[in-house]
Amino acid sequence: MKVRKISGALGAEIMGVDLTKELTADLVKEIRDVFLNNNVIFLRNQPLSSQQFMNFARSMGKPVEYPFVKGFDSFPEIIEVKKLEHERSNFGGVWHSDTTYLEYPPMGSMLLSKEIPPYGGDTLFACQYAAYETLSDTMQRMLSGLRGISSSAKADVSKTREDRIKTDGKDSAPKNFTNSHPIVRTHPETGRKALYVNVAHTTGIEGLTEAESAPLLSFLFEHQVKPEFTCRWAWEPDTLAFWDNRCTMHNPINDYHGFKRVLHRITLEGDKPI
């Protein structure tokens, strides 16, 4: 197995691993270590069936269903993330960590690329350890103990789901999920602290008025995606990406109107953030 870092802050490509084969426990551990050290990993040339995709996901955690979109009949934990030729909005097309409005937000998410436009449709990732560590000591102290409120109903992100809910929405009308989590969370595996707010879902801070929280959140939203905290992945078909939602944000770029882009996604169960 070979590892190539793709930026200074986060992201690593793993080479020499074939996910169509069963992985040894040692290899699973090695992959997990690269994942924990780099926040997001990429493996090219992985033409996986849904069963093989699920097998790899199960080696890294427990696949769970996404609340708003139906999965495949035989694999309800796999959803299609897609944008069709005639569609304008791209699913999740804003900086975020996945479903932070849940009480137990996912520890990680996996995407397996199927159809990729001839150009565009890259995904950006941002390291939230770096975002936290570059704050002043005073700001770090000020944020410790504060809880951010996440809602699934913020307008900018809910409109990115509209096309998918129209074609693949779950029958039960989606309800609005709201939960609060520490703004600075401690990673349960690495023990490192990471900033855990995001512009897609965080609506406020517990105990503060909107006038008080808005300027602080808008500073954090801007700070946490500085270019030097990010990496950018240009997809080709049959690439698997796996990112750590506990310390990483992502943002798919919507710059390929007129072309189709299809990826399969599995989300893995996470802890309650502390």
Least distance between Co ion and beta carbon 90 (Å)? 11
The per-residue b/e assignment along 116-125, b for 16 or more CB within 10 angstroms, e otherwise, is: bbeeebebbb
Residue 187 annotated among the catalytic residues of the structure: no
Say which of 185, 187, 246, 265 is annotated catalytic: 265
Residue 264 annotated among the catalytic residues of the structure: no
Cα separation, 125 vs 133, in Å, equals 17
Least distance between Co ion and beta carbon 86 (Å)? 22
Which residue's CB atom is positioned nearest to Co ion?
92
Residue among 126 and 216 whose Cβ is closer to Co ion = 126
Residue 65 DSSP class: -
Say which of 161, 250, 261, 264 is annotated catalytic: 250
Least distance between Co ion and beta carbon 24 (Å)? 30
Residue among 131 and 157 whose Cβ is closer to Co ion = 157
Closest CA to 198 of 142, 132, 148: 148
Binding site for Co ion (CB under 5 A): 92, 98
Least distance between Co ion and beta carbon 207 (Å)? 28
Secondary structure E strands in the chain: 2-5, 12-15, 40-43, 63-64, 78-83, 108-115, 123-127, 147-151, 178-182, 184-186, 193-195, 202-205, 230-233, 240-244, 248-252, 261-268
Closest CA to 69 of 267, 268, 271, 272: 267
Say which of 96, 147, 261, 264 is annotated catalytic: 96
Residue 98 annotated among the catalytic residues of the structure: yes
Cβ(245)–Cβ(105) under 8 Å? yes
Residue among 213 and 265 whose Cβ is closer to Co ion = 265
What strands lie across the sheet with 178-182, from one edge to the other? 178-182, 147-151, 202-205
Residue among 13 and 98 whose Cβ is closer to Co ion = 98
Residue among 143 and 233 whose Cβ is closer to Co ion = 233
Cβ(100)–Cβ(157) under 8 Å? no
Least distance between Co ion and beta carbon 220 (Å)? 19
Residue 96 annotated among the catalytic residues of the structure: yes
Active site residues: 96, 98, 250, 265
